[in-house]
Amino acid sequence: MGEFLLVTIQVDLYDRLALALENDLINMVSKTEARGVLIDISAVSIVDSFMGRILGNIASMSKIMDAETVVVGMQPAVAITLVELGLTLTGVYTALDVEKGMELLRNKIGYQPKEEEDLYDDFI
Amino acid sequence: MMTLSKETLAIQREPDVIYFRNKAKEYAVKIGMSMVGQTKLITAASELVRNMLRYANGGNAILEIVIRNNVKGVRLTFTDKGPGIKDVKQAMQDGFSTGRSLGLGLPGAKRLSNEFDIKSEVGKGTTVTIIRWKNGL
């Protein structure tokens, strides 16, 4: 994944697991100096206020560590429920799928693909 | 209103929440509730079960399939013997929390349910009941 950390949440997390994820992820951002975090929640069937808060925390903490966070793959029913619950996930970027999420991350951090660097070299 | 089936689960640890959520989903699927309806029900349940664990060290959750005017629904009842809520009206407001949460639990659970009832007595405990009907919006 290069400069990005990709996290796929495969099961519904209970609170302590979600907190552990938050902790592990921030440590990984520091260790790998990742510039972006992509969290795939397509297998998650509910996001309640606690899980929502964890996602928000990960985004704010990553931001302080100079990394952007994008949450991808939210199921439509989960999105409808989140809004009615009153959670707007302020400060968390979202995208429909992993591909679009990667694109968004690249734009956010101004990442230039390798080919362009080569082109630039040729130009000089 | 009539009860068609009923089950009581003890909620004592965090993993019980996941088990309970799955059970609630099973009930919702059994009566043919829509995907959005199911998600709203288990999200509300998750908020209420968490409250029970956090503020009252756990309690009991009752799952029921109920029927009224020929329409089926899932009723969930959460009973704890915790400290009770001093000011229920205040607790039902968005953003109010005595813990460090977002304060969306109770008002959010109410918005996600078709029917919502809360009874609390300081020093005795709290009972919250929610219903989502099969055809509920």
pLDDT digits (tens, 9 = 90+) for B57-97: 999 999 999 999 999 999 999 999 999 988 888 888 888 88
CB neighbours of residue A61 within 10 Å: 18
The answer to whether the CB atoms of A81 and B36 lie below 8 A apart is: yes
The answer to whether the CB atoms of A48 and B43 lie below 8 A apart is: yes
Tell me the two tokens of residue A111.
């990442």
In order along its 137 residues, chain B shows pLDDT tens digits of 999 999 999 999 988 988 999 999 999 999 999 999 999 999 999 999 998 998 999 999 999 999 999 999 999 999 999 999 888 888 888 888 877 676 778 999 999 999 999 999 999 999 999 999 998 87
CB neighbours of residue A88 within 10 Å: 11
How many residues in total does chain A contain?
124
The answer to whether the CB atoms of A80 and B39 lie below 8 A apart is: yes
Q: For residue A3, what pLDDT is reported?
A: 85
Query: Is there a contact between A48 and A15 (Cβ–Cβ < 8 Å)?
Result: no
How far away is chain B from the Cα of A21, in angstroms, using its nearest Cα? 16
Cα A17–A19–A21 angle (5° rounding)? 70
Nearest to B18 among A14, A78, A87 (CB): A14
Q: What are the Cα distances from residue A105, in Å, to A95, A98, A101, B25? A: 10, 10, 6, 35
Structural domains of chain A, with CATH: 4-123 (3.30.750.24)
Q: Count of A–B CB contacts within 8 Å?
A: 69
Nearest to A16 among B14, B36, B105 (CB): B14
Q: What is the DSSP letter of B91?
A: H
pLDDT digits (tens, 9 = 90+) for A1-56: 458 999 999 888 888 889 999 999 999 999 999 999 999 999 999 999 989 999 99
In sequence order, what are the beta bridge partners of B9?
B61
Q: Round to whole Å and give the CA distance between B42 and A91.
A: 25
Chain A contacts of B38, Cβ < 8 Å? Answer: 77
Structural domains of chain B, with CATH: 2-133 (3.30.565.10)
